[in-house]
Structure 1
Amino acid sequence: MASQRPWAEMRQTLHQLRRSLSALSSRTPQDFSFRRLPDGQLRVYFLSARTGSENQLCYVDVAPDAASENAKLPWQQVFDPTFQCVRYGSRSSRAEQLQLERKRVVGCGITEYSLHRASGKFIFTAGNSVYHVTDDSSRGTVAFPYEIPSSRGQPRLNPTICPSNPDLMAYVEDGDIWVASTRTDVDVRLTFSHQEDEALSAGFPSYVMQEEFSRFVGFWWAPTSSDGVYRILYEEVDETHVEVLYLNTAQEGGEPEAIRYPRAGSTNASSALKLLEFRLDPAQGVTAVTRRHLHTPLASMFPWMEYLVRVGWLDEQFVHCQLLDRSQCRLDLVLVPVALFVSDEPVPGPPPSAAVQLLLSSQTDVWINVHDTFHVIPTSDPDQICFLWMDDSSGYTHLYLVTAQISRQPGPRATGQPPMTSKVPLTSGQWNVDNKHVWVSEKHGVVFFQGSRDTPVERHLYVTSFVQPGRVQQLTQPGFYHNALLNEDCTALVTVLSNLATPPSCQVWHVHAGGAGGDVQLVPAGLIMEPCSFEPPRWLPQLHKCRSAGGGESLYCMVYPPAGYVPGRRYPTVVNVYGGPQVQVVANTFKGYRNLRNHILAAEGYCVVCIDSRGSHNRGTKFEGHIKNRMGTVEIQDQVDALHQLSDLLGIIDLSRVAVQGWSYGGYLSLMALAQRPDVFKLAVPGAPVVSWGLYDTGYTERYMDLPCRNPCGYEAGSVLSYANQFPSEPNRLLIFHGLMDENVHFFHTQQLISALIRAGKPYQLQVYPNERHSLRALESSEHYELTLLNFLNNYL
């Protein structure tokens, strides 16, 4: 048992550790964008809490001939530092809070912005207000943000600048799309979906689309307006048949918070793709608004479709869509002609004869990981389309160059097999290409991407040729984990890099492409941020590799030795588990503020172990698909096997004093670990745990577990409730944490668990956070959680 320490003393130690780790991470630049100034300089914009705790919009300038690896580039703020507004930093609205939860955005101040590169105009939100500002600093002008007025007091979500006219912006307010002119300060409502039916909304995706498919916008400006007509493609979401759940609220006299949440096996929201058109009159007012819908809805053309997962413009003639079935084993990429959108006002005449064209169809017996890669490569043949694509058909995520025939002439709707003429792999092997970003230099015939070719615990930037495919060149320094971003013409690169022993740094590079098949050269242009000098704690984590049962698969692990570690002595150990799909915990990155709880435990004398068991991310479909249809029944064995191997290897783990703790899926596995292997795990500390997959949402659950009606045994075996009688009968072995307003894993999960434990006569402890959602965002809540966790471990481990 660890030495007992007074609560106040632990709190003081925690404050000191929090301050030191916060100082290392809060300055790290994020959310980069680029703009080439008239004098040829490259301006790199980013967000950072350089001073204080609030993010500011900053920039550095890079000369075209700058070449220095160690020169520090001076930071500037985009706008006047005296800028203040009444509501700046005020508490976000409920709608904004929920969207930040979906995006996993942390921090305060400016959390996102939209840039129009040609004009240097920005749109950003602060508090509950929307501002615009134009960066004129190259002309010696100090920029000052202006609030875009609104008398309605409603939050304005996803404000986005029109690509063809920076004076226009669109946003979603109270379930409908509005457009505003920053020149006239006048806004106009373009849709009336939500006004007419509370279950309908325009331009804003459903909960499942945001949470499980990472699509956070539901409207898309047309990139050009050659005929003077501005167009916005949008999704109308119908939640009429989606179950309404009510979240408890801690506000005195407050009404329960209603949320549309489709549980596994229940009815999802449905989507309809629609189109807005309008013009501007001489006074810049919005006029001639036309609302259009597809003559034949996508759901009728593709009756198997359940999810509209990706949407975008190909050109003024076509839009592209990715359609996914309910089991998430089939995805079709289609082109939809703009001519198929007909006016909501009936117009005499024959129906449109344009064709919806199927470009590509993917099918799997595991599940499809949706991605954002669809980049069209221009060709001289108007009846041919060539594009970059990404899929897992080889067992790993790789890039492909796909060529297909299309028709720009009117005709019947396309049916049958996609007209794909070739699919050429640009990458291959037993490693994954990162599915978030690719950057294409059409001039040089190359594509840049991130991936994990040599080791899954590092990420690097690579380049390959789509003119002469096959060769892959690594561009970033080995021994580090890189987050890279290139500018639009692939002439400049920013990378944030770190490893377990080195805090993040940020560097700018000039990119010199050598043409198809030629090497790409990176020339250092300066440092945006050098690594912070810090006294490394004695518990910096170390990477290790173990094997799954039978020696089949490598399992990567990370171990934080306890403070004051003495070789040959064994220590109480905490397994910090996640273990679920889409997440990789073990990586060669600096473990800063986001890993504060691991640092706290190590500082207090505990050995901390993290294991990426089979089912976790970035190891290919076989490794991740190990949990298909059997979540909760196979992960614990990998955790136990790796724990015992680490104990033998390091001689530091006391196997008689092991606790397991985690949040969300990690909370679920913490419960399963205590129920299934109480002989290994002495304590379990789950946070916001799933207890039954039948209570969780459709998009996530059915991807991995299929529909409940098709996998009843899997749902029963994967339910913590099925193991209630197997929990220990000794007190002080289970401590549960949960936010009362959790909109992701609802508190109902914990209620069901408690009821089952009471029926089984099993002891437990519960800590509720009345004002918290799925993440503990309030500093005082996080601190209370950490102290309660420490106190529990100190007393009983």
Structure 2
Amino acid sequence: MDYPELAARTRRFSYGAPRAVTVSPDGARVIFLRSAGPEDPTDALWVFDVATRAERCVANPAQLLRDQPDLPPAERALRERLRLSAGGIGSFALDGAGVLAVFPLGGRLFRADLLTGDVTEIDTVGPVVDPRLDPTGRRIAYVTGGALRVIDADGTDAVLAGEEGVTWGLAEFIGAEEFGRFRGYWWSPDGHSILTARVDESRVPAWHLHDPSQPEQPPTTIAYPHAGATNAKVTLHVLDLDGGWVDVHWDRETYPYLVAAGWSEQGGPLLAVLRRLQQHGLVIAVDPRTGETQVHAELADPRWVEPVAGTPAHLADGRVLVGGELAHDGYDARCLFADGSLITPPHLYVRRVTGRLDGDLIVEASDGEPSEQHIFHIPVTQSSPRANRLTTEPGWHTAQAAGRTIVIGSQSLERGGVEYNIIHNDESIGSISSNAAQPPFAPRPALERVTDRRIPAGVVYPRSHVAGRRLPVLVAIYGGPGHQEVIAARARWLEKQWWADQGFAVVSIDNRGTPGVAPSYDKAIHRRFSDVILADQVDALEALAGKHPDLDLGRVAIRGWSFGGWLSGLGVLRRPDVYHCAVVGAPVTDWSLYDTAYTERYLGLPADAPDVYAHNSLIELASEPPVRPEDARPMLLVHGLVDDNVVAAHTLRLSAALLAAGRPHSMIPLTGATHMAAGGLAEKLLRIELDFIRRSLPPPTPA
């Protein structure tokens, strides 16, 4: 079976691989999700027992449900925000001891005893979204129909908060999509009250999505806060189970974005909030008795504040952990601070706080090489910042830790998939097995740092390549904030190797604006997206050709999805001398049609910076006829018709502008597809894209 078919059937070799790996608070168990095989999309709940060093299945959806009904709309939306395409058990939540788990399955609620293996279905009044046990394990909260409900130990199912036209206990679109806050409520440590978000979207613009291939179906209406428009109104409240109600007070007009929230035993709730343009934020503590708040830290940056995942949080000694940047005395680093004191060395680029090990921190960070991520143990009681690196193998490592147990997931260029190593009391005691398929080949990218800006880049050749044979170039890009293409993990290069084997030198470049190098590298794109990013792409491509003479820069195609789709369209429209054709997937063609938090973070408000928006618009570029006929480079546009993130209007309007200007292009509308293009559609498009690129590139140029 060829790669596109195998990748589609195995969901890019992810079916059967462990995911959602979690360590119980006492470190006695490792809980995770995994399906039965490489073509099985249905994830089951598994437990690895640290004492016996054995794993066992606790909850198998095939045994719990004969057939899985449709997911509730709120659950589908949450999975889309999580980019989760697997079936079966999508997520689970534990009690404070880590001995009980709850999970939704087809809108129904189940509770599992992780010690005995007993699984019980709990009756509910409606389809269940995001169920969570209170820390004592006596009660279960869940959301249904926009209302937050609680099931008591005796089975009583009561509304804690609910009203027509608003939602309680769910993250709003911006919180989940742009800030990675997928939750909307948090139990108190004693299980007697809940900090919950109330979301009012009544003033958010209503957009209507409709798949023309289903004319009998009514359109779906969503609240979409596009750039410059009104956001959802998000408020927080502490609700007691006995009916008490406290409003949380902060200046929501000045700081409308709730970026993070949490509640630990070391203190009351902690929040991180940001101004609309995200250049200033606050870390605030909440008194759950009164709702009054106290500022613990201020976050500021003239470009934008970039929070560190896993912060803010209380340390065991009560200090408040905050992530931020060190940008003085010659430093250019992403660091962690405890009550204002630096606790991570400034040579680290801290990406995420991922757990605790005997009170100390476990973090994921890069140390000088952005293509690699390693795991570091950070002592929190040292007088000077210190970090002990726990991973030695080159690659991309993730971790989860609690008690005396840490689970490290490792990827590298030397092997396929993720290997999970379980370490207890500093001893490796086992691993989590994988049922995923192994890819049919091993890519071997050449990773480089090029130009005086040391831009990360990689080149993949056909496996049969003979030096001296000139190759057309395919630039496979993303190029946007929050994502890297050039990482030392085999999975990132599998599809690129397939493209290379079709006769291309495949190039990926992480321009300024992508993470991992330094904060100044991340933020060089502020208010000048297209100029900085495209200049880096062109300069890096030319520098790579200087190192790799087999790259034929007279035949260059560019291909990307989402932000990468915008960048591929930008390339052929603005630099037809460099790029000769483009596959433009789900692009943001007009930034005023994209969401508030993301767009305004980088470009400002449309009313304040109309020239900035116009300068970065593909529609503005496409509307101008080419200076020379040969500069009208062919484009293949692809978009899912029910995409609720980058709506299909982006591509439809781009197509209209291209047509009006006489620019050649083709378009593939994906019926029923969201932004993920799930169901193997992306892989099934590969041969169509290949044919388009082969037909569109000019003939070989002389050496």
1:291-370 matched pairs, under 5 angstroms: 291-294=245-248, 297-299=249-251, 303-313=253-263, 318-341=268-291, 356-370=293-307
- What is residue 109 of structure 2 aligned with on the other side? 130
Alpha-carbon contact 1:538-1:563 (below 8 Å) kept: no
- Residue 234 (1) aligns with residue 196 (2): yes
Deviation at 1:45, TM superposition (A): 1.8
* In the alignment, structure 1 residue 46 sits paired with structure 2 residue 32: yes
Residue in structure 1 matched with residue 375 of structure 2 by the alignment:
461
Aligned residue among 494, 502, 520 for 2:415: 502
Q: Which residue of 2 aligns with 1:417?
A: none
Calculate the aligned-residue CA RMSD, in Å: 2.6
How far apart, in 2, do the equivalents of 1:591 and 1:738 lie?
Answer: 24
Match of 2:133 among 152, 161, 176: 161
Question: 1: distance between equivalents of 2:633 and 2:527?
Answer: 33
Cα deviation code 1:35-90 (max 9, x no counterpart): 489xxx933221122433322212223338xxxxxxxx6532124797231333x4
Q: CA deviation at 1:171?
A: 1.2
- Normalising by structure 2, we get a TM-score of 0.91
The 1-side partners of 2:10 and 2:491 are apart by 13
Supply the AA of the counterpart residue of 1:293.
Answer: D
The match for 2:573 among 675, 678, 697 is 675
Q: SS of the counterpart of 2:539?
A: helix
| Partner in structure 1 of residue 539 of structure 2 | 641
Q: Is the 8 A contact 1:430 1:620 kept in 2?
A: no
Report what 2:638 is aligned to.
Answer: 737
Q: Is residue 34–residue 117 contact of structure 1 (8 Å, CA) maintained in 2?
A: no
Q: Cα deviations across residues 619-646 of structure 1 (Å, max 9, x unaligned)?
A: 2221011110011222112111111222
1:483-522 per-position Cα deviation (integer Å, ceiling 9, x unaligned): 11112x2x1111111211212353434455xxxxxxxxx3
Q: What residue in structure 2 maps to residue 603 of structure 1?
A: 501
Question: How many percent of aligned residue pairs carry the same amino acid?
Answer: 28
The residue correspondences of 1:481-496 to structure 2 (distance < 5 A) are: 481-487=396-402, 489=403, 491-496=404-409
Give the alignment partner of residue 475 of structure 1, picking from 367, 379, 390: 390
Change (3 A) 1:108 1:303: closer
How far the C-alpha of 1:768 sits from its partner, in A, is 0.1
Q: Quick one: structure 1 residues 465 and 133, their matched pair in 2 at CA, closer, same or farther if it must change by over 3 Å?
A: closer
Identify the match of residue 424 of structure 1 among 314, 317, 341. Answer: 341
Residue 176 (str. 1) matches residue 147 (str. 2) = yes
SS of alignment partner, residue 607 of structure 2: coil
Partner of 1:433: 350
Secondary structure, aligned partner of 1:83: helix
Instruction: Please state how far the C-alpha of 1:130 moved relative to its aligned partner.
Output: 2.1
Q: How does 1:453-602 map to 2 (within 5 A)?
A: 453-468=367-382, 469-487=384-402, 489=403, 491-510=404-423, 512=425, 522-529=426-433, 537=441, 539-547=443-451, 551=452, 553-591=453-491, 597-602=495-500
The counterpart of 1:187, out of the listed 157, 160, 168, is 157
Change over 3 Å in CA distance of 1:242–1:293 after alignment to 2: same
2:240 aligned with 1:277: yes
The aligned counterpart of 2:324 is: 391
Q: Residue 755 of structure 1: CA displacement?
A: 2.1
For the residues of structure 2 that align with 1:450 and 1:671, how far apart are their CA atoms? 34
Larger Rg: 1
Equivalent pair of 2:35/2:435 in contact (CA under 8 Å): no
Q: Is the 8 A contact 1:366 1:621 kept in 2?
A: no
Q: Secondary structure at the match of 2:217?
A: coil
Report the Cα distance in structure 1 between the residues aligned to 2:2 and 2:405, rounded to whole angstroms: 45
Greater CA deviation, 502-511 or 600-609? 502-511
Q: Which residue of 1 aligns with 2:181?
A: 215
Residue of structure 2 in register with 1:617 after alignment: 515
The amino acid of 1:116's aligned partner reads D
CA shift at 1:580, angstroms?
A: 0.8
Contact 1:538 1:564 in 2 (8 A): no
Specify which of 224, 227, 247 is matched with residue 261 of structure 1: 224
> Which residue of structure 1 lines up, in the alignment, with residue 701 of structure 2?
none
Partner in structure 1 of residue 678 of structure 2: 777
Structure 1 residues 695, 534: closer, same or farther in 2, change over 3 A? Answer: closer
Aligned partners of 2:335 and 2:694: how far apart in 1? 47
CA distance in 2, matches of 1:387, 1:461: 22
Secondary structure of 1:262 counterpart: coil
| Counterpart residue identity of residue 100, structure 2 | K
Q: CA deviation at 1:474?
A: 1.0
In structure 1, distance between residues paired with 2:295 and 2:602: 27
8 Å Cα contact 2:151-2:157 kept in structure 1 = yes
What code does the residue aligned with 1:571 have?
A: L
Return closer, same or farther for 1:506/1:538 CA change in 2, 3 Å cut-off. closer
Asked if 1 retains the 8 angstrom alpha-carbon contact of 2:22 and 2:32, the reply is yes
* Aligned-residue offset at 1:176: 1.2
Q: Which residue of structure 2 aligns with residue 375 of structure 1?
A: 313
The TM-score with structure 1 as length reference comes to 0.81
1:297-342 Cα distance to aligned partner (Å, 9 max, x none) = 423xx6411212222235598432222101101111122222325x
Structure 1 contact 244–260 (Cα < 8 Å) conserved: yes
Distance in structure 1 (CA, Å) of the matches to 2:206 and 2:285 = 34
Residues 133 and 388 (structure 1 numbering): CA distance in 2 closer, same or farther, change over 3 Å? same
Kindly tell me: are residues 431 and 531 of structure 1, through their superposed partners in 2, closer, same or farther at Cα, counting changes over 3 Å?
farther
Q: Which runs of 5+ in 2 are unaligned?
A: 698-703
Label 1:688 to 1:752 Cα distance change in 2 as closer, same or farther (>3 A).
Answer: same
Partner of 1:790: 690
Matched, 1:712 2:613: no
Conserved 8 A contact 1:597-1:786: no
Counterpart-to-counterpart distance in 2, 1:303 and 1:82 = 48
Contact 1:502 1:531 in 2 (8 A): no
Q: Is the 8 A contact 2:28 2:50 kept in 1?
A: yes
Contact 1:507 1:525 in 2 (8 A): no
- Of 244, 247, 253, the match for 2:209: 247
Distance in 2 between the 1:303 and 1:677 partners? 42
**4+ runs of 1 displaced by more than 4 Å?**
16-23, 314-317, 530-536, 726-732
Provide the residue aligned with 1:68 in structure 2.
none
User: What amino acid maps onto 2:258 in structure 1?
Assistant: L
Structure 1 CA distance, aligned partners of 2:19 and 2:577? 44
* 1:172-219 deviation per Cα after TM superposition (whole angstroms, max 9, x unaligned): 1111101124x54442222222x2xx2x22111211111111111111
Deviation at 1:581, TM superposition (A): 0.8
Matched residue, 1:418: none
The whole-number CA distance in structure 2 between the counterparts of 1:436 and 1:707 is 32
- 1:429 CA drift (Å): 2.6
Change beyond 3 A, Cα 1:253–1:276 = same
Distance 2:222 2:438 in 1: 45
Q: Would the aligned equivalents of 1:573 and 1:607 in 2 still touch at CA under 8 Å? A: yes
Give the C-alpha shift of residue 534 in structure 1: 5.8
Mapped to 2, the partners of 1:36 and 1:758 lie a distance apart of 59
**What residue in structure 1 maps to residue 58 of structure 2?**
78
Once residues 549 and 435 of structure 2 are traced to their aligned partners in structure 1, the CA distance between those partners, rounded to angstroms, is 33
Deviations for 1:71-119, whole angstroms, at most 9, x for unmatched residues? Answer: xx6532124797231333x442332222111112232222211122536
Q: Deviations over 1:747-796 (max 9, x none)?
A: 111122122222212221110012111110122x2343223212212332
Name the CA distance, whole Å, in 2 between partners of 1:81 and 1:216.
24
**Is the Cα contact below 8 Å between 1:661 and 1:667 reproduced in 2?**
yes
Aligned length: 685
Is the 2:16–2:435 contact (alpha carbons within 8 Å) kept by the matching residues of 1?
Answer: no
Q: Which runs of 5+ in 1 are unaligned?
A: 1-10, 65-72, 138-142, 279-287, 342-354, 380-384, 403-422, 513-521
When residues 132 and 756 of structure 1 are mapped into structure 2, their CA distance, relative to the original with a 3 A threshold, is: same
